[in-house]
Amino acid sequence: MDLSRRIRDAGWSVRYLPDATVVHHGGQSTGQSPLDQPRLLWESRLLYYRKHRPARDARLLAHLIRTAYRLRGLAWSLRARTGHGEASAFWLGRAAAARALVRDLR
């Protein structure tokens, strides 16, 4: 998104080529774990907002993201209580990742 915006701001145009094929290997360049991906995604989006939107919009977005992940973490913790074995561990892991996102989101 940022590259497309910078190209347009420089007076160039962005074209769509329906026959083009792109293969995206998510997380390959950073070696990120699946539990880190949401935090990295939202940090990237917040960076874009901070560059191109008023500061209050970025603060509001950060607040909404943290609120959403607090609620997700709570829901996933409750779901872990109803699960057994691997299912419970899975949801506890997701809940811990949600708490880490709320704590670490810049």
pLDDT truncated to tens, each residue of the chain (106 aa)? Answer: 678 888 999 999 998 899 999 887 766 666 667 777 888 889 989 999 999 899 999 999 999 999 999 999 999 999 999 878 888 999 999 999 999 999 998 8
Inside any domain, residue 26: no
Inside any domain, residue 20: no
**How many domains would you assign to the chain?**
1
Structure token digits, residue 41:
């995604």
Domain residues for the domain of 81 are 33-106
Inside any domain, residue 71: yes
The DSSP code for 14 is -
Inside any domain, residue 25: no
Inside any domain, residue 13: no
The DSSP code for 29 is T
Q: Which one, of 33, 41, 30, lies nearest residue 69 by Cα?
A: 41
